[in-house]
Amino acid sequence: MTIIGLGNPGDKYANTRHNVGFMVLEKMAKSSKSWKSGPNYLYYDMNISGDRVRLVKPTTYMNLSGEVFKYLPHDDIIVVYDDLDLPLGRIRIRKDGSAGGHNGIKSIIAHIGQNFPRIRIGIGPKPQNVDSADYVLSDFTPEEFEKLEKVIRVTIEAIESIILHGIDKAMNKYNAIQIE
């Protein structure tokens, strides 16, 4: 199993809304010092209940996220990323689907098609008079970050549930949750 978290590389983007995929993987790895380098990604190997799991963070910018599949198999994956259309506090698990306007997902679909499981993490709603690109590249407020910590914990539980019990059970359990 490979879990791919989407984000932008570098300290400048570390705490931005667009980097929640990276944040989930960092929390799962419990250490930022143990990551190893692949051709255009960083990875961390771990076990979840005896299953070998590889966490992958592409080192390309978001719009080129699909390029990681030049070097990785695309079967048995889960992609974790931000979703502007979901409110902060919601996650949505899907077996497949469209990009929904997300450029990182558009890039992945261009490389492997749209049939891959994904976990979308809500970062919305976007304020009315703010450009979408500016919003996703903005940092979370301290209050939002406090809520995000809870969302990340639940997302990790959802990933473990997919690995242990399958995506259908995880969808039934986690798609209805609103984290406060």
- pLDDT tens by residue, 57-79: 999 999 999 999 999 999 999 99
Over the stretch 21-60, which tens digit does the pLDDT of each residue have?
999 999 999 866 789 999 999 999 999 989 999 999 999 9
**pLDDT of res. 5:** 98
Domain that holds residue 133: 2-174
Residue 179 lies in a domain: no
Q: Predicted confidence band at 114 (pLDDT cuts at 50, 70, 90)? A: very high
Residue 170 lies in a domain: yes
Instruction: Tell how strand 2-5 and strand 77-87 pair up.
Output: parallel
Q: What is the mean predicted confidence (pLDDT) over 105-112?
A: 97
**pLDDT of res. 31:** 65
| Residues taking part in catalysis | 18
How many CB atoms neighbour CB 113 within 10 A?
Answer: 10
On whether the CB atoms of residues 121 and 151 are closer than 8 A, the answer is yes
The DSSP element (H or E) to which 48 belongs, if any, is: strand 41-48
Q: Between the CA of residue 14 and those of 20, 24, 32, what are the distances in Å?
A: 9, 12, 12
Give the domain CATH number at 100. Answer: 3.40.50.1470
Handedness of CA 74, 76, 82, 87 (dihedral sign): positive
**Phi and psi (nearest 5°) for 117?**
-70, 150
Residue 89 lies in a domain: yes
Does residue 119 or residue 31 have the better pLDDT?
Answer: 119
Over the stretch 122-155, which tens digit does the pLDDT of each residue have?
999 989 999 999 999 999 999 999 999 999 999 9
**pLDDT of res. 49:** 87
DSSP state letters, 61-95: -GGGGGGGGGTS--SSEEEEEEEEEEETTBEEEES
Residue 120 lies in a domain: yes
Q: What is the mean predicted confidence (pLDDT) over 157-164?
A: 96
**pLDDT of res. 33:** 72
Identify any residues that bridge with 80 across adjacent strands, giving them in sequence order: 5, 119
Whether pTM exceeds 0.85:
yes
Q: What is the mean predicted confidence (pLDDT) over 74-102?
A: 95
Please tell me the total count of domains within the chain.
1
**pLDDT of res. 30:** 84
Which pair of structure tokens corresponds to residue 7? 């984000």
Residue 180 lies in a domain: no
Residue 110 lies in a domain: yes
Residue 116 lies in a domain: yes
Residue 57 lies in a domain: yes
Instruction: Quote the CA–CA distance of 77 and 54 in Å, as a whole number.
Output: 9
